[in-house]
Amino acid sequence: MSSILEMISNNSDKVLKVPLFCIFSMVIVFIIFKFIKKEGIAKYLFGLAMLATALILLIVALTNLTNPVALTTLEFFVLTLASGVVSLCMAWFLDIFFTKNKPKVKKVKKTKKAKVKKVDKKSTSEKITNEKRA
């Protein structure tokens, strides 16, 4: 446990980057939401762009795995992946709770059933045969 805490304290600048990037992406999504409420997909574009960037960074890092720059690329992959997921979740949260175009549930009124008169088969068949004869 002490070795883990020591590693975190030695790399505190890298450890603090993830929450700062996530907060920064949340602020950007909130600003986009304030300006564009009606457009459904505009809120999600920033998060999708971050995830696409993360995918590209992962591919670049894996192709250049023996290069020392790959560790920095993997670090930015983690940052963009985390901030992309957080921004997508933030956009979804804002979309669910703060849009005013929620569909209203219509109340269904109960209708009374109409009484149906029973008709004798014999009397109707007799009327039909009498009409045919005439």
Q: b or e along 71-97 (b: 16 or more beta carbons within 10 Å of the residue's beta carbon)?
A: eebbebbbbbbbbbbbbbebbeebeee
Which pLDDT value is given to residue 9?
A: 84
| Nearest CA-CA partner of 90 in 133, 38, 132, 33 | 33
Residue 130 has a pLDDT of: 61
Give tens-digit pLDDT for 82-98: 999 999 999 899 888 87
pTM of the predicted structure, to 2 decimals? 0.66
**Could you tell me which of 53, 46, 51 has the C-alpha nearest to residue 91?**
46
